Structure 1
């Protein structure tokens, strides 16, 4: 079986996307693996930027599936002494079976590393998209609600790489509605919005984005936010906190959506993007979401090397 790469959710077929989400939910429910499917393989974990959840999820997931791991931080490789990224990728592909990489930069670098047939490459967050977070979010929603089709999600905050992955993933499930409320000047990029709208049109879902907090949708199933200071980025406007302030997630958002659950990709800054009452309250499933990152990581690692075991028939 040919190896697979995960650089963007856009690269996945509908069947692959559904299968990865289903498989992540199976792992989360305690479904056994078929032996140790990644035995005799080596997974490289390369993070140029800080990470708690994603790095731990892929490290623990690889070990649970039988792989050995080699971990690198941003200062370890000879890229820092002048070796080209292309040469580094060529060398790693001759020694590793899978490379999980957080560059927080241009995804084109990951695609260069993926231009070979020896080593799978997994995007653990680039500047434009966080695809494994998107899979985690879909797995979390599937586990909680039992289905994805027809879910209504309100996303509040910056249109960052997490928001991009959510937009590119959720819109591929029929009847879903994703409403994004992003600060002026900090919304989805035009390219991500165009791609997500294309998926929405093809799958009978809906994507809307506004830059204010008035006339919010009622009876949503989930309210989602991320921290305002995304890893590896900075705000060009020195007055950005004033612009972001109206987009804080507080208890007031549940007035018209009393049954909604709360999601956050973490880490969280209580008192900035979300209040402690929400994050630590009974509606929050943010820490279940964090745990699901490992289960989604296992689904991705398995899919990259041996294919998906789960069969996601029809739409979720």
Structure 2
């Protein structure tokens, strides 16, 4: 049966652990210069309605390192949902490539691609979810916990780990909430009124095992946590809301003042960052920052995902 990856809770907890183990193994092989052409002669189709730096480069580079090939189709190359129906695109591409990554606006579009494709479809980002980012986030947290011994030697590396999301309840936040539920991470979400994550996402996280705590107080949210995570306040397509959002998010910036409530916390941001807005330059470039470990781990996590989907 063809497996797709449209959000992080498409995985079971044991599958998440297996996938992160595989990602870690690929990271070690790359560090040691050990070739790993596990997807030799495989082709990845990449359908991108939205521009990208990390998603495009990490998937293309990952396929190359795995011995395969990636074909990029941008907004000017293919018109998703216009002209040719999505179901025809899905069925046609399935006869050419071994997997598809779709970075699109509407989550319904990636769901329709998966419904008709006979090869794995991976969500490279939609307005509702960014599960590939969450894989990299969880890999980064696991590495940080292992390094610091924060889980007390439990067989589950996420046992006892706490995190806070501070800022906009956007697509990254929603997938991260589900990822924390799946991994067993105690998560608190702090957003201004009107910017919270969807109720159905909170319910899904609860069903996975750990319901997030929700607040509008960022200082309370970060108190004593292991990880503080944020993202931009103004995402692509929201530029006309800039003045309103800058007012509404006052007090939600990750800076040294806020982090005084979390003296041992590491800091995460999925990039690109608007320095001085949602995060200060000092924090982003400081010793607590795991930001560029996260960025690197997009490569390793996605290699693990592709190999896991195609070599099952």
Q: 2:291 & 2:36 partners in 1: Cα distance?
A: 31
Q: Does 1:257 align with 2:267?
A: no
Extract unaligned runs of 5+ from structure 2: 147-156
Q: Which has the higher helix share?
A: 2
Partner SS state of residue 114, structure 1: helix
**CA distance in 1 between partners of 2:145 and 2:64 (Å):** 29
- State the shift of 1:259 in Å: 1.5
Q: Give me the TM-score of the superposition, normalised by structure 1.
A: 0.89
SS at match of 2:70: strand
Q: State the partner residue of 1:305.
A: 310
Query: What does residue 179 of structure 1 align with?
Result: 188
Contact conserved, 1:248 with 1:273, CA < 8 A, in 2?
Answer: yes
The 3-state SS of whatever aligns with 1:45 is strand
Looking at structure 1, the residues matched to 7 and 240 of structure 2 have their Cα atoms a distance apart, in angstroms, of 24
**For residues 236 and 81 of structure 2, what CA distance do their matches in structure 1 show?**
20
1:62-211 counterparts in 2 under 5 A?
62-79=63-80, 82-105=83-106, 107-116=107-116, 118-146=118-146, 147-174=157-184, 176-200=185-209, 205-211=210-216
45-54 or 9-18: bigger deviation = 9-18
Please say if residues 104 and 232 of structure 1, whose CA atoms lie closer than 8 Å, have aligned partners that are also in contact. Answer: no
Alpha-carbon spacing, 1:68–1:278, altered in 2? closer, same or farther (3 Å): same
Match of 1:243 among 240, 245, 248: 248
Give the drift of 1:198. Answer: 1.7
Residue correspondence of structure 1 range 268-287 to structure 2 within 5 A: 268-287=273-292
Report the secondary structure of 2:251's partner residue. Answer: helix
Asked if structure 2 preserves the Cα contact closer than 8 Å seen for 1:99 and 1:121, the reply is yes
The count of residues paired between Structure 1 and Structure 2 equals 300
Unpaired runs of at least 5, structure 1: 308-316
Q: Secondary structure at the match of 2:275?
A: coil
Which protein, 1 or 2, shows the higher relative CO under an 8 Å CA cutoff with sep ≥ 6?
Answer: 1
Q: How does 1:32-43 map onto structure 2 within 5 Å? A: 35-43=36-44
